[in-house]
Amino acid sequence: MFTGNTLRLKDFDGKFGLQVQRNCDFSYVAKVPTRLARRIVPCEKPLHITNAVKNKGIVGIVTTHELAALVPEALGLALAAQPVLAAIQLHEHVADIPDFQWRSFATRIHPSAIVHSSASISENDVEIGAGTIVHPNAVLFPRTFIGENCSIGAGTVVSTDAFEINTRVAPYAIIRQSGGVRLADNVDVQAKCTLVRATFGGFTELGAETKLDCQVHFAHDCIAGKRVRIAACAELSGRVEIGDDCFIGPNVSVSNGVRIGARAQVTIGSVVTRDVQDDQTVTGNFAVPHEKWLAFVKAVNAGRTGE
């Protein structure tokens, strides 16, 4: 499990192109909107720093000499010619320190759980609760926690790496990843879904009684509340947050970082690029309140009739 250990930023002065100006104690190196405590983040534009100051859990910033004066005195500060590259290198170094961020354990499977012989379960860092069923050809990578009375469908992959790419190196490389996936009790995930691990630490999460239809892509750092229903072929990009009792229709696409409020509904085929309010129904590409979409369709039809 995650340890909560910390390191001193000043100990990395002169490494990875960093010049440490102010010390801080940190556990993770991540992006500004990532939901992690005690994290350092790279900022290459003034707006990045503005957003970082507003976010909880950020203890330090890696930025350029030109932007250093914008960083509040209360935050740790390191300078780098390429802040993003330096932060990625620091993250990967920290992720590789044995037992620092994560203390490994032998996989634990409750005696009452049923795991099909063709399923692939990592020997370490997986926990499967009582009464859970893992169906044929499912794959559970390390840092997977599954509660009681869950079902993992045939061919579903849990805790696979996120599509996080270091474009500052040649050739491009997938960033080393530190997080996992956690499912509460009574969660059902049907066939051929993909549940992607959190990138820099923490968990991608499905709340109690949440249900996923076939071929759902639930990306890194997404969080679904209780009793959420996500229909077939929906795609949720990174850091999406879904409130309790929501319904996400078939073939819906949800953009990175969007929040969908409690009891909201997203209708079939919608493309969601903005937050959805509690109890709201949205429709369309790009998704708008359902009533607004119906009014638009009526107006279009009326125009055709008048031609």
* Percent share of the chain, pLDDT over 70: 98
Which candidate, 201, 242, 200, 246, places its Cα nearest to that of 218?
Answer: 242
Q: Are 238 and 129 within one domain?
A: yes
Side chain identity at residue 280, one-letter code? Q
Tokens of 190: 């049907």
The answer to whether residues 233 and 248 touch, using CB atoms and an 8 Å cutoff, is: no
In whole angstroms, what is the distance from residue 198 CA to residue 180 CA? Answer: 5
Q: Is residue 301 part of a domain?
A: no
Q: Are 258 and 201 within one domain?
A: yes
> What is the predicted pLDDT for the residue at 290?
83
> What is the predicted pLDDT for the residue at 286?
80
For residue 246, give Cα distances in angstroms to 151, 170, 256, 272, 282: 20, 42, 18, 14, 12
> What is the predicted pLDDT for the residue at 292?
83
Q: Provide the number of structural domains found in the chain.
A: 2
Q: What is the mean pLDDT of the chain?
A: 96
The answer to whether residues 18 and 24 touch, using CB atoms and an 8 Å cutoff, is: no
Q: Are 237 and 204 within one domain?
A: yes
Instruction: Categorize the per-residue pLDDT at 306 as very low, low, confident or very high, splitting at 50, 70 and 90.
Output: low
Q: Are 44 and 129 within one domain?
A: no
Side chain identity at residue 148, one-letter code? E
Q: Is residue 1 part of a domain?
A: no
**Residue burial 215-234, b: 16+ Cβ < 10 Å; e: rest:** bbbbbbbbbbbbbbbbbbbb
In whole angstroms, what is the distance from residue 107 CA to residue 149 CA? Answer: 18
Reported pTM: 0.92
Q: What is the CATH number of the domain that holds 164?
A: 2.160.10.10
Domain that holds residue 264: 108-292
Q: What is the CATH number of the domain that holds 82?
A: 3.40.1390.10
Task: Residue 294: count other Cβ atoms within 10 Å of its Cβ.
Answer: 12
* Percent share of the chain, pLDDT over 90: 92
